[in-house]
Structure 1
Amino acid sequence: MSWWTLLDGGYSMPAQKTWGQRLSSRVGRWLASRHPMTDIHPTCLISPEARIHPRDGFIGIGERSTVALGVLLQGNVTIGRNCSIQAYSNIVGYGSKQQPAGLITIGDDVRIASHAIIIAGNHRFADPDRPIRTQGLDLAPITIENDVWIAGRVNIMAGVTIGRGSVIGGGSVVTKDIPPYSLAVGVPARVIASRRQS
């Protein structure tokens, strides 16, 4: 069992109390930042078991953000400051820095729990006589504004904006925009309350 595996099954990031822990997150950060199309702030904690690959895009991670084991960051993804991406979440953007059709933008102070799936593209399937894999993708950006909590096993579909201060309940599938300071749950996700109401 590695030091990344805590009481909650490894879904939280550890405190860096020993030289081994500090070295491990530095190795993870180094592995992530060696690609020329990444910008990883030196204060980030990156598990060496995270997979970070920009393909033709760009991946930026702001200061004091954490990326846990098994996370996949791929394509065109920008993550703000003080964010937490927990174990085995998949965040897949598309496009390039110059053509950001499938850009995923995650604001500051965002918490994404384990096993979330955030993908900025959907397969086309209109022609039943052609394999789906040959029909291409419809790309649309995803924006998660500041101070959002995405609970475990949430799916966020292409083209969605989740407003500032919102909470998305576990297991939800977000297919439409969520207004700021909302609590949304379900399949598909629906707003059931506002955090602004007293």
Structure 2
Amino acid sequence: MDIENAIVEFGTQGVLRYREISQRPDNELPEVFLGGFIASHLYDQFHCPVHIERLYLTLAMECGLGVTPELVNELGGLRADLVVYQSELSPAMIELKILDERTSPLLIDNDRLKMKKLACRTRVRPYVGVMICQTSHTLESTIARLQTVLDRPIRTGPPRRSLTGKWEWCFGCASLLDITDQGNG
């Protein structure tokens, strides 16, 4: 199983599990729960270290970058929701989001821009994992809007009915790696 499929599968399972234990609407899922759930399952799947809330600066140092005042200023306290160390030379950095009525696809694009600050200097492979919710727009049009904003396709799982049955959601993942942006590490 590749990382994108794993994020879609375990993200879907995480949303369903939180819904079960909280008995709250699906989109009230805390990202911290989702990160912990996915991290545990990624470890079981790939048998490699997985870190939660990893500082970008720590990741930069692990990838061989020297810490400079400029780097500290640029990356500061930014944290990756998950980092999967399948390869020490090119770890996967994953940001998790919930795209519902309260969140714009542009906010998710902001995460892409933050990750690019590190990915363009290192061999880090950036991904975004998103719970995509039907809003005042259909689920399909919300997925299409997000793909347009990110300028790339998103791998999605099957649509799921919400706890109330009034709307749908799915979990998606996209690689944000642009080969031309990749650093030399």
Give the TM-score band, short-chain normalised: under 0.3
The structure that is strand-richer by fraction is 1
Structure with bigger helix share is 2
The alignment's TM-score, normalised by the length of structure 1, stands at 0.23
State the structure with bigger RCO (CA 8 A, min sep 6), 1 or 2: 2
- Please, what TM-score do these two structures have when normalized by structure 2? 0.24
